[in-house]
Amino acid sequence: MQGWKRGLITLLAAAASAYVAVPAMAQAPGTQFIGITGYRVGPYGANGAAFFSGFIDYLTLVNERDGGVNGVKLSWEECETEYNNTKGVECYERLKTMSQTGPTAIHPMSTGITYSLIDKAPADKIPLITFGYGRTDAVDGRVFPWLFPLVSNYWDAATGIVKFIADKEGGPEKLKGKKIVLLYHDSAYGKEPHPVLEAEAAKLGFELNKIPVPHPGNEQQSQWLQIRQYQPDWVILWGWGIMNATALTTAQKVGFPREKMVGNWWAGSEVDTEAAEGASNGYYAASLNLAGKDFQVVQDVQKYVIAKGKSKTPEKLVGTVLWNRGMAAAMMTVESVRTAQGKFGKKPVTGEQVRWGIENLTVDTNRLKQLGFGSMIPPIKVSCTDHSGSGLVRFQQWDGKQWKAVSEWVSGDRAMVRKMVEDSAAKYAKEKNITPACLAG
């Protein structure tokens, strides 16, 4: 555990040094201001630092390499939320007033903060982008026009993981009678996959044992005692921050094979596996994106941003899972702005106009290649009825030094997910007296 603690301290120190805020640029007229609700301190700070460093490095790249978006420079300011719901709302309220056009789009990077902002965003006309997290039924834009769980959502992840396990066992029929544990962060985030995993268990005949881990997750002895007594065939890890490395090291202590553990995409980064050291070897995780420095966009950041002293990102983070994911999230924001400019003019666009841009966003294989992302993420096509745009997931395995892809882009039970999304969204609409409809452009 001492190696883990040293590694975590190092990453948190890097997080502090990587903090970037640009209040002067935020006030510059004629820029597209982007408000960033980030976190770089606390038990989730190392993970947040990697993501938001990548996010800001990509925004910097667009300015340095491209001169902005159609000649409109980007500006931004980051507000520290500490992954705390109250502070997240405070940051949102602060950032929304810092530019005449608003904060473009907010990435809460927390399911809890997302839930706290769901009612505020429509009133303020500020879109929320939840890149692989947040409220899953927001995929139905007829009920949630301001909320965009882009690329893939938690139910996509959960059904994808079940399919992955089924493939390992020899087919879905082989899951009957198997025992699967969901070890989850006891929060809105951790509870998000419960309905779909319960449905999968009922359909395929496996036992599902849901075991919560209290925040922040650095004590799991009692949970793993339950797991050892239950003797499951597989453990699905739905963690974040320090919880993930703790789960892996405790699994090793009790003798549970890491080759029988599959994490979701917030439990599958180098921050997790390196902190757990040798306890991570053989562990699987779903992913929204691939790690690596070979992608052209990573090389462009190194050339136009890092080499020119325009970044405070520690070299260790470049090309990692979460840093690459932060870049991908920033790219989705930039491309949504570009799409909005195509309709409303090549100028700073408002949140309302960006909302239209996100809902009409297409980033196909050719565009990903042009942008330098290649196969890092799957192509997406967003619409009013599909605020996700992909639904695909890819699996990776930790080999002791790095993540290696062990699947192509695959989907889980898309039909089940879609039905559950529509049923849940319809229930929410009825509770809130919402008439489902697509917003006019």
357-413 pLDDT, tens digit per residue, is 999 999 999 999 999 999 999 999 999 999 999 999 999 999 999 999 999 999 999
Residue reference for tokens 């309220």: 93
Cα within 13 Å of Cα(221), Cβ side: 0
Q: Is there a single domain that holds both residue 134 and residue 206?
A: no
Which is nearest to 132 in space by CA: 253, 18, 2, 267? 267
Is the pLDDT assigned to residue 329 strictly greater than 80?
yes
Q: Is residue 296 part of a domain?
A: yes
Q: Is residue 424 part of a domain?
A: no
> 12 pLDDT band (50/70/90 cuts)?
very low
Which is nearest to 4 in space by CA: 250, 181, 344, 285? 250
Q: Is residue 131 part of a domain?
A: yes
Q: Is there a single domain that holds both residue 15 and residue 148?
A: yes
Q: Is there a single domain that holds both residue 159 and residue 283?
A: yes
Q: Is there a single domain that holds both residue 67 and residue 142?
A: yes
The per-residue pLDDT for 29 is 83
- In terms of Cβ atoms closer than 10 Å to its own Cβ (0-12, 13-18, 19+), residue 75 is buried
> 14 pLDDT band (50/70/90 cuts)?
low
The per-residue pLDDT for 22 is 40
Q: Is residue 282 part of a domain?
A: yes
8 A C-beta contact, residue 184 and residue 158: no
Q: Is there a single domain that holds both residue 146 and residue 15?
A: yes
Q: What is the dihedral of CA 281, 285, 289, 291, to 10 degrees?
A: 0
| Cβ neighbours, 10 Å, residue 406 | 12
Is the pLDDT assigned to residue 1 strictly greater than 80?
no
Q: Is there a single domain that holds both residue 118 and residue 14?
A: yes
Q: Is residue 253 part of a domain?
A: yes
Q: Is there a single domain that holds both residue 172 and residue 283?
A: yes
Q: Is there a single domain that holds both residue 345 and residue 304?
A: yes
Q: Is residue 316 part of a domain?
A: yes
Q: Is there a single domain that holds both residue 49 and residue 171?
A: no
The per-residue pLDDT for 21 is 43
Q: What is the DSSP letter of 40?
A: -
8 A C-beta contact, residue 83 and residue 44: yes
Is the pLDDT assigned to residue 114 strictly greater than 80?
yes
The per-residue pLDDT for 28 is 77
Taking residues 54-66, report their average pLDDT. Answer: 98
Q: Is there a single domain that holds both residue 275 and residue 411?
A: yes
User: In CATH, what number is assigned to the domain containing residue 60?
Assistant: 3.40.50.2300
Q: Is there a single domain that holds both residue 178 and residue 130?
A: no
Is the pLDDT assigned to residue 270 strictly greater than 50?
yes
Q: Is there a single domain that holds both residue 285 and residue 362?
A: no
8 A C-beta contact, residue 297 and residue 373: yes
- Pick the range with the lowest mean pLDDT from 9-18, 151-160, 275-284, 387-396: 9-18
Give the amino acid at 124.
Answer: D
* Distance (Å, whole) CA 318 – CA 307: 13
Is the pLDDT assigned to residue 277 strictly greater than 80?
yes
* Percent of the chain whose predicted confidence (pLDDT) is above 70: 94
- Pick the range with the lowest mean pLDDT from 9-23, 167-181, 213-227: 9-23
- Structure tokens that stand for 6 in this block: 């040293």
Domain count, the chain: 2
The per-residue pLDDT for 7 is 53
Residue reference for tokens 């597209």: 32
Mean residue pLDDT of the chain comes to 94
The per-residue pLDDT for 15 is 47
Which is nearest to 267 in space by CA: 16, 44, 81? 44
Is the pLDDT assigned to residue 16 strictly greater than 70?
no
Is the pLDDT assigned to residue 20 strictly greater than 50?
no
What SS3 state is found at 284? strand
pTM of the model: 0.94
Q: Is residue 134 part of a domain?
A: yes
The per-residue pLDDT for 26 is 52
Output the CA–CA distances (angstroms, integers) from residue 301 to 43, 71, 341, in the order listed: 28, 19, 24
Beta bridge partners of 363: 380
Output the CA–CA distances (angstroms, integers) from residue 18 to 268, 305, 311, in the order listed: 22, 14, 8
Is the pLDDT assigned to residue 10 strictly greater than 80?
no
Q: Is residue 308 part of a domain?
A: yes
Tens digits of per-residue pLDDT, 288-323?
Answer: 999 999 999 999 999 999 999 999 999 999 999 999
Structural domain containing residue 315:
8-153+291-391
